[in-house]
Chain A
Amino acid sequence: MKELKLMKGNEAIAEAAIRAGCDAYFGYPITPQSEILEYLAANAQKRTGMVVLQAESEIASINMVYGAAGCGKRVMTSSSSPGISLMQEGISYIACAELPCLLVNVMRGGPGLGTIQPSQGDYFQTVKGGGHGDYRLITLAPSTIQEAVDFTKLAFDLAFKWRNPVMLLLDGAIGQMMEKVELFSQQERLKEAPDWATVGKPKNRERNIITSLHMQPEDMEKTNQHLQAKYRKIEEEETRFECYKCDDADYIFTGFGLVARIAKKAADIARTKGYKIGVFRPITLFPFPYSEINNLSKKVKAILDVEMNTGQMLEDVKLAVNGNIPVEFHGRTGGMIPTPEEIVAVFEEKIIKRK
């Protein structure tokens, strides 16, 4: 049964979390993601009995997530850039302890306390690891509210499949704007704890221990090797991306999240001017679709990477292209959003005129 609704991005994510059978939410309000906490506080408890708690800080909330995830529950938190920075220690612990959880980052402009307007400045922090140690977050970057809803459900599935934290990375604009969404039906909350969960010791198995402390260097290295093997497997199986008119394209725009939508419009405008342009959008930022971009770089003449930061995904695009073709960049920061016409103008100036 189709259930269509006009919803604000943040509220849609909250609704999707309830429907995905989320057991607990721990968070702390920060613009532009406060509506997630507001919506959950108003609706979740009475509908599914989900725990919704406003912690005293972001650091407290991520550690509450750590504890609840250790019990084998579907658990999530959300914040915006400065709040996610505060959570980094806990995220590193959760990744090392191999626990599933959903983190939502509605990015705002930085660095510092920054601005509350949309930005994509947390790419490095999320994808390269903002916390300490060799860990990775599976990162999903929705570009529409429909995707934000679908990825919330997918994120819980991936988190439990790989026992790894999953980050939903979107910007303030997707969090704040309203769009038509088709909602999935209500899923049941988990009834049984997974076999690794710390829910008391029955007689028929060994004690489950969840820890991120390994005092023996041999132990620590073994944990690292195990994690890396898992990440390589994730890279093989979970890479997701979207191609828009890439088949006959001479040039490619790359971008993730909101910017990819603007780039699609820009590509359509450029096509009326006679330039054959496609748009490549990585949906998972980790694992990054390196080989797909590399394959594209053998077919097209140049790539223009567009982002709402000063060139963070650009480095991964360049790694993927591996010097095959020129890669140019256009970025806006501080809450400014590039327009389609602006992208076309930059494309003409940086790629067409310089040839």
Chain B
Amino acid sequence: MAKVKGDIIIDIEKCKGCKLCASACPQVTLELSKKVNSKGYLYIVKVNDKCTGCTNCALVCPEGIITVYRKTLDGNKEHVATITNVSKDINITVKE
């Protein structure tokens, strides 16, 4: 099986630093920052390259602000998982 490499993008301005994603991450990739966002919260940052794109963090994020990208090294194929706008309607798209 080809090695899977993932990446995430976090909307740090909406993060409240609840750390649910950090505890859900099997690769221990997420940690609280040392800096604060404009609301004053310590936000989550990716601290290493171990992300596999498993989407756990995006699924547990109560604010729905994590977007996950997944890519296989051989096929160069991109998969996307986004969970958006939790406050209105939950909208989950996980492309396999």
Q: A residues within 8 Å of B by Cβ? A: 6-8, 11, 31-32, 34, 39, 116, 176-178
Using A176-B16, A178-B62 as known contacts, say yes or no to A116 and B39 having CB atoms under 8 A apart: yes
B35 to chain A, nearest CB (A): 14
Distance between Cα atoms of A115 and B69 in the complex (Å): 34
Contact residues in B for A8 (Cβ distance below 8 Å):
62-63, 86-87
* Contacting pair B87 A7 (CB below 8 A): yes
* Contacting pair B62 A177 (CB below 8 A): yes
Q: B26 in the interface, Cβ–Cβ < 8 Å?
A: no
Distance between Cα atoms of A177 and B39 in the complex (Å): 15
* Contacting pair A6 B39 (CB below 8 A): no
Distance between Cα atoms of A34 and B86 in the complex (Å): 17
* Contacting pair A31 B39 (CB below 8 A): yes
Distance between Cα atoms of A39 and B87 in the complex (Å): 10
A32 to chain B, nearest CB (A): 8
Using A6-B90, A11-B87, A178-B86 as known contacts, say yes or no to A31 and B62 having CB atoms under 8 A apart: no
DSSP class of A's interface residues: helix, strand, loop or mixed? mixed
A27 to chain B, nearest CB (A): 15
Contact residues in B for A11 (Cβ distance below 8 Å):
87
Is the interface on chain B under 10, 10 to 19, 20 to 34, or 35 or more residues? 10 to 19
Interface residues of B in 3-43 (CB under 8 A from A): 16, 18, 39-41
Distance between Cα atoms of A32 and B18 in the complex (Å): 13
Contact residues in A for B40 (Cβ distance below 8 Å):
31, 116
Q: List 5 A-B contacts (CB under 8 A).
A: A7-B87, A31-B40, A32-B16, A34-B39, A116-B41
Contact residues in A for B86 (Cβ distance below 8 Å):
6, 8, 178
Distance between Cα atoms of A7 and B86 in the complex (Å): 8
Besides the known contacts A6-B86, A8-B62, A31-B41, 19 further A-B residue pairs in the complex with CB atoms under 8 A apart = A6-B90, A7-B87, A8-B63, A8-B86, A8-B87, A31-B39, A31-B40, A32-B16, A32-B39, A34-B39, A39-B87, A116-B39, A116-B40, A116-B41, A176-B16, A176-B18, A177-B18, A177-B62, A178-B86
Contact residues in B for A32 (Cβ distance below 8 Å):
16, 39
A29 to chain B, nearest CB (A): 9
Write the B57-96 contact mask toward A (1 if CB under 8 angstroms, else 0): 0000011000000000000000000000011001000000
Contact residues in B for A31 (Cβ distance below 8 Å):
39-41
Contact residues in A for B39 (Cβ distance below 8 Å):
31-32, 34, 116
Give the nearest-CB partner of A115 in chain B: B40
Contact residues in A for B63 (Cβ distance below 8 Å):
8
Distance between Cα atoms of A6 and B90 in the complex (Å): 9
Contact residues in B for A7 (Cβ distance below 8 Å):
87
Contact residues in A for B62 (Cβ distance below 8 Å):
8, 177-178
- 4 smallest CB-CB distances across A and B, nearest first, come from A178-B62, A31-B39, A116-B40, A31-B40
Distance between Cα atoms of A34 and B14 in the complex (Å): 12
Distance between Cα atoms of A6 and B85 in the complex (Å): 11
B58 to chain A, nearest CB (A): 15
Distance between Cα atoms of A7 and B90 in the complex (Å): 11
Give the nearest-CB partner of B39 in chain A: A31
A178 to chain B, nearest CB (A): 4
B59 to chain A, nearest CB (A): 14
Distance between Cα atoms of A176 and B16 in the complex (Å): 8
Distance between Cα atoms of A325 and B37 in the complex (Å): 48
Contact residues in B for A176 (Cβ distance below 8 Å):
16, 18
Distance between Cα atoms of A7 and B40 in the complex (Å): 21
Distance between Cα atoms of A116 and B16 in the complex (Å): 10
B41 to chain A, nearest CB (A): 7
Contact residues in B for A116 (Cβ distance below 8 Å):
39-41
B48 to chain A, nearest CB (A): 27
Distance between Cα atoms of A346 and B90 in the complex (Å): 40
B77 to chain A, nearest CB (A): 33
